[in-house]
Structure 1
Amino acid sequence: MPFNLTILGSNSATPAYGRHHTAQYLNIGSHHFLIDCGEGTQERLNIYKAKVQRIHHIFISHLHGDHYLGLMGLIYTMHLLKRTKDLNIYGQKGLKEIIVTQLKYSDSRLNYKINFRELQPKKSELLFEDDTLEITSFPLNHRIPCSGFLFKEKPKPLRLSKENLPENIALAHIALLKKGEDVFDEEGNLLYKNKEYTLPPRRSRSYAFCSDTLYDESIVPHIKGVDLLYHEATFLADKYPWAELTFHSTTHQAGEIAKKAEVKQLVIGHYSARYKDLTPFITETREVFENSILSVEGETISLSD
């Protein structure tokens, strides 16, 4: 089952040097999620051949323009493409008013329904859950209300050892084996011992998105041990006073959070437009947390199971 993160936009407030506003496309199994939607996001989705109409959930971390100004255009494009399925949008207080106002004054009536979910930026919430996946929010420390998002697969069932499995085994018995149970006949005789016919489950994977934020160790419990962490690193380390003043983080600070949270891999982004060359970003981050990479637009990061 795929678990793929595609970077659509990697820059902060101003597009520069071919880099665009924050947006990410996350595909987990049959689910297709959009995380933040800066200006130009729908163009990036087209360029990287993401299926727009498969996106049923959009997560907006906060209401600074570089994280949501592409949303209205995407919403209307979905309408023009004859979308009929509901679209679920998760965002801070005010986002619904912004979208509804634009629809009102453009006299636009969509073919589909938007379900708005207002985030509670000071606490963690369960936003979505099904049989395989759960998505939660958690607070970030920014100048305005801002939330991070954790995408986490649920524990997976045992796998069947096809080499050992009897040829005519009943489907009901297969279901019991996947649950970890031994199988008995009606008289209570053991038919199949679970450990003889099953393999360990595939690994459950996780991804945490930490949008704009000060260095704040309070997020560590929420992202502890994730397979992949995105953490903003707007500035190089020598600009930490400016990062603090603007409620952002530096390369070293992103690396420190990754180290304290014991994550497996860190990807940084949200680069300030003052920097053309990103080489110092990865060099500095790896001084603190070795397994770090740059977010590069168009690249996909895949998590194996």
Structure 2
Amino acid sequence: MAFQLKILGSNSATPAYGRHQTSQLLNLENHYILIDCGEGTQMQLLRYKAKVSRINHIFISHLHGDHVFGLVGLINTMNLNGRTEDLNIYGPYKLSDMISVQMRATHANLKFSIHFNAVDYRQSQLLLDHSLFTVHSIPLDHGIECNGFLFREKEKPRRINKEKLSPDLSVTDILDLKEGKDLYHPDGQLRYANEVLTLAPKKSRSYAYCSDTRYCEAILSHIKGIDLLYHEATFMHNQAEKARERYHSTTIDAASIASKARVGKLIIGHYSSRYQELEPLLEEAKTVFPDTLLALEGKDYFIDDI
């Protein structure tokens, strides 16, 4: 099943060099989740032929404009396109007021309901408990209320070993085997041992999105051992003081966090407009964490391949 990340926007405060403001689309078991929504996000969704009508969950990390100014426009477009399905939005508590004011001021008459979920920036929370995955918040250090998000698949069922599949197994038997159960005869005698007919479940995958933040080791406990980490790297290391002053991270900061958390791979993004070329940022991060990738707009990152 799919666990696919598409980068829609990779730049920081302003668009530059063809790069757009922050936004990502996560396809998690064919459930489409939007992460942040900077200006121009809906144009990027159109450009990459994303299934906008299937986005039912939107996670907003914080209320700086480059992460949220595209949201109301996207909601309005969903409405104009005839959406009737409920939309779930997660973000800072003031986000609800921001949406409501703009909807009223523009006389928008939404044909669907928005369910707003306020996120506490002071502690990690379980935000979404889906049958296939969970989403937790990750408190960040950005000077204002700001969270990252951890997406983790739930434990998967055991797999049927087709080479040892017996023709006398019913659908109920197969479901019981996937749940790890042994099969018994009515008299209580063991019919089939689970370990004989099944294989271990596939690995549950994970992705953490760490939006704008200074170097913050407090996040390590939340992201330890995950498959893929996105961590902002607004500046190169020679701008470390500027990064700290502005509550941002450098390439070395992001790579150090990835190394200490022992993640599978790191994606860096949220590039400052001072950088036209991105390869120097990548090379610098790789000196600390070799398994680093650039966030490139339109590119898909398949966590199965990590």
Residue number in structure 2 paired with 1:90: 90
Structure 2: gaps (5+ residues): none
Q: Matches of 2:108 and 2:66 in 1, distance apart?
A: 24
1:126-275 alignment, distance < 5 Å: 126-275=126-275
User: What is the count of residue pairs matched by the alignment?
Assistant: 305
CA contact (8 A) 1:8 1:41 kept: yes
- Could you tell which deviates more after superposition, 170-179 or 25-34? 170-179
Using the alignment, how far apart are the partners of 1:42 and 1:131 within structure 2?
28
Shift of 1:252: 0.4
Distance 1:232 1:153 in 2: 23
Asked if structure 2 preserves the Cα contact closer than 8 Å seen for 1:122 and 1:138, the reply is no
CA distance in 2, matches of 1:195, 1:244: 53
TM value normalised by structure 2: 0.98
Shift of 1:174: 1.2
SS at structure 2 position matched to 1:73:
helix
Give 5+ residue unaligned stretches, structure 1.
none
Deviation at 1:255, TM superposition (A): 0.3
How far off is 1:178 after superposition? 1.1
Q: Which residue of 2 aligns with 1:104?
A: 104
**Helix, strand or coil for the counterpart of 2:111?**
coil
**Identical amino acids, percent of aligned pairs:** 52
Return the letter of the residue paired with 1:22: T
Q: Give secondary structure in 1 for the equivalent of 2:43.
A: helix
Q: Distance in 1 between matches of 2:88 and 2:197?
A: 41
Q: Decide whether the 8 Å contact of 1:269 with 1:294 is kept in 2.
A: yes
- Deviating above 3 A after TM superposition, structure 1's stretches of 4 or more consecutive aligned residues are none
Cα RMSD for the two superposed structures: 0.8
User: In 1, distance between residues paired with 2:51 and 2:171?
Assistant: 35
Instruction: Give secondary structure in 1 for the equivalent of 2:17.
Output: coil
Could you tell me whether the CA contact under 8 Å between 1:15 and 1:273 is conserved in 2? Answer: yes
| Equivalent position amino acid for 2:109 in 1 | R
**SS across alignment from 1:282:** helix
Aligned match of 2:3:
3
Partner of 1:289: 289
The one-letter code sitting in structure 2 at the alignment partner of 1:82 is G
Equivalent residue of 1:304, what SS?
helix
- Please list the CA deviations of residues 224-275 of structure 1 after superposition, one character each: whole Å capped at 9, or x if unmatched: 1110000000000100000000000000010000001010000000000011
Superposition pairs for residues 28-47 of structure 1, below 5 Å? 28-47=28-47
Paired AA for residue 298 in structure 2: G
